[in-house]
A and B are shown apart, each in its own frame.
Chain A
Amino acid sequence: KAGVTQTPRYLIKTRGQQVTLSCSPISGHRSVSWYQQTPGQGLQFLFEYFSETQRNKGNFPGRFSGRQFSNSRSEMNVSTLELGDSALYLCASSASLAGALGEQYFGPGTRLTVT
């Protein structure tokens, strides 16, 4: 099976712009979770989608949003970018809701740099 893919892998944006990141889960997986990884804050949960519905949300401002399509592919959007949004954004898929009984499979991440 193909793994989790994320596009683009690298992105450079300027403050105030908006960005959309894409994640394609493993075939058959219905849950997609998004995480932000920074050296200072570590791995922080953004949100989780299951069957096109947001099921969980982390403690991030409303500038961070996402959606999931009927084929389980997911996108996350960050509007009005700030310098502090520079991070590695990781997507994880699992067969069940956030890997409740199973594990999550992570993509390679999208490295976002905001200048």
Chain B
Amino acid sequence: AQSVAQPEDQVNVAEGNPLTVKCTYSVSGNPYLFWYVQYPNRGLQFLLKYITGDNLVKGSYGFEAEFNKSQTSFHLKKPSALVSDSALYFCAVRDDNYGQNFVFGPGTRLSVLP
């Protein structure tokens, strides 16, 4: 069975500092990994994905994520945080076995302090 863990409910970071939001996963096959962001009273917005290839994936709004197969992790990073990055971040995984649905992590609330 697939599962996703986001070990931190809340991450606080000062504006201008680098940020990391952690994600670990478990799948039976090869993983498709995704990060989504949710702003208040809004649906989820896609940030980036890892399907195959380069372990460092670059996405929207300056975010990037590193796929680490040995640690089964897919941490989201940004070199310099903005106050406007404050939101709820979800990591999601889909097993490459055809027909497997998405499993989302519980979410991490990121607060960027001015």
Which residues of A are interface residues toward B (Cβ below 8 A)? 4, 33, 35, 42-45, 48, 55-56, 58, 90, 92, 97-109
Total contacting residues, chain B, CB less than 8 A:
23
B102 in contact with A99 (CB, 8 Å)? yes
B: residues with CB less than 8 A from A are 32, 34, 36, 41-46, 49, 51, 90, 94, 98-107
What is the minimal beta-carbon distance from A100 to any residue of chain B, in angstroms? 7
B50 to chain A, nearest CB (A): 11
Max chain B Cβ within 10 angstroms of own Cβ: one of A45, A103, A104, A106: A103
Asked whether A106 and B43 contact (CB < 8 A) given A55-B99, A100-B32, the answer is yes
Q: How far, in whole Å, are A50 and B8 apart by their CA atoms in the complex?
A: 34
Contact A104 B102 (CB under 8 A): yes
Given known pairs A33-B102, A48-B101, A55-B99, the reply for A103 and B51 (CB within 8 Å) is: no
A89 to B31, alpha carbons, bound, how many Å? 26
Give the complex CA separation of A44 and B107 in angstroms: 12
B107 touches A42 (CB 8 A): yes
Residues on the A chain within 8 Å of B42, using CB: 108-109
Q: Are B46 and A90 in contact (CB under 8 A)?
A: no
Residues of the A chain whose Cβ atoms lie less than 8 Å from the Cβ of B49: 102-103
Q: How far is the CA of A106 from the CA of B105 in the complex (A)?
A: 16
Beta-carbon contact of B101 and A90 below 8 Å:
no
**A45→B99 contact, CB < 8 A:** no
CA distance A7 to B28 in the complex (A): 37
Evaluate whether A56 and B46 lie within 8 angstroms (CB atoms) in the complex, with A100-B94, A103-B34 already known.
no
In this complex, what residue of A is CB-closest to B48? A103
Decide: A45 and B46 in contact? CB cutoff 8 A: no
State how many angstroms separate the Cβ of B55 from the closest Cβ of chain A. Answer: 18
A45 to B90, CA, bound (A): 14
Cβ contact within 8 Å between B43 and A4: yes
Q: Do the beta carbons of B99 and A99 come within 8 Å of each other?
A: no
Are B107 and A103 closer than 8 Å at their CB atoms?
Answer: no
